Amino acid sequence: MLLARLVKKNGEPFPVLVNAAERKDAGGRALFIRLIVFNATDRRRYERELLKARDELKALTVTLETRVTEATADQLRSNAALTTHRRDAALREQFIAVLGHDLRNPLASISAGTQLLQKSKLDDRGAAIVIMMQRSVMRMASLIDNVLDFARGRLGGGITLTLPTLPLTPVL
C-alpha cells in the first residue's frame, strides 16, 4: 500500500492510498496489474491529529517533569529548613534550661547574704533595704522556677547527662 497525493482540477492536493495487485499466467508473465485507489483524506487528518496529540503529550510530560522536579526541590528545602528550625529550637531550649539552672547559684548567695544581714544590727533604712532585697530574691527564684518548668516540659525531663562509672576512692 502506498500513500500518495493526486491533484484535483482546482489544484488542491487530494491524499489517496494506492494498492496494486499483479496477475501472472502459468509461465510467470504479467497479465495485468489491478490498481485500487482509496480516498485518504480522513486518514491524513487522523494522522495529523495523532502527531499533534503526541507533541502535546511530550510538552505536557516535560511540564509535569519540571513541576515534579521543582516540587521535590521545594520539599527538600522545606525539610532542611524544618530540620534547622528544630535544631535551633532545641538549642534555645537547652540554653534556657542551663541559664535557669546556673542563675540559681548566685541567687542562693544573694539570699544567704540578705539573711546574714538581717541578723545583724541595722538601722530602719538598712532593714527596709534587706527586706526589699529578700522580696526581689523571692521574685527572681519564682521566675527561675518558671523558666526551669518550661524547659523541663519542652525538653522532656531535663538535659540528659552521660556519666562515666568511676571509683569514688581516688576522687574522695
User: Each residue's pLDDT tens digit in the chain (172 positions)?
Assistant: 778 889 999 999 999 999 999 999 999 999 999 999 999 999 989 999 999 999 999 999 999 999 999 999 999 999 999 999 989 988 888 888 888 888 888 999 999 999 999 888 889 999 999 999 999 999 999 998 888 887 777 666 555 677 888 888 887 8
Residue identified by cell 494498492 is 19
Which of 142, 117, 120, 141 is closest to 131 using CA atoms?
A: 117
Instruction: Enumerate the β-bridge partners of residue 18.
Output: 2, 37
Burial annotation 118-143 (CB, 10 A radius, 16+ → b, else e): eeeeeeeeeeeebeebbeebeebbee
* Contact between residue 117 and residue 130 where contact means Cβ atoms under 8 Å apart: yes
pLDDT at position 159 is: 58
pLDDT of residue 48: 92
Query: In order of start, what are the domains of the chain with their CATH numbers?
Result: 2-39 (2.10.70), 48-157 (1.10.287.130)
Q: Give CA–CA dist 122/160, Å, rounded.
A: 46
Rounded Cα–Cα distance for residues 2 and 17 (Å): 6
- Of the candidates 130, 69, 136, 76, the one whose C-alpha atom is nearest the C-alpha of residue 106 is 136
Quote the cell numbers at residue 108: 542562693
